[in-house]
Structure 1
Amino acid sequence: MSHRKNQPKPDNRKDNVEKLQDMVQETIQNMEETEAAMEFASEEEKKELREKNQRRRESIDAMRQEIRDEYRDQQQ
């Protein structure tokens, strides 16, 4: 029986931009679905959903900044 130590996988950042772009698109889709769901929500639920979408907007801004950073790093 061989005893191998667990080795971490090497950091492969080549596809980070694409992954981040996919995450942005999925988040936008979630926001759109939430907006549609508000039609059937109570006032309290609408308030919570609006707050959730605001946090999503903030996440999108952060992901877009990270996309720019990753793209810049790849160009160097």
Structure 2
Amino acid sequence: MKAIVIGASGGIGGALAAALGVRGDQVTGLSRRSVPAIDLEDEASIGAAAAGCPARGRSTCWPLPAACSTVTGSSRKRRSG
């Protein structure tokens, strides 16, 4: 299967991308450090990253929570209680 991991340069994203690769998936890792870089607040960078992703066949996209919280602007932390 083809997998797209957004946030692949982070600890969780890197581990997920590695695990998917070991499993035999074709992994495309995207991050602020990838080529092309992806900035979830910049529409042009999202388009450039999408253009470089696998176009044919079935793909699964793994957006990681840290990336999602950046888009929504949420900076709140959970309190343990």
Q: Same fold (TM over 0.5)?
A: no
- Return the TM-score normalized by structure 2: 0.25
* More strand per residue: 2
Larger radius of gyration: 1
Q: Return the structure number with greater relative CO, CA threshold 8 A, min gap 6.
A: 1
Give the TM-score normalised by the residue count of structure 1. 0.26
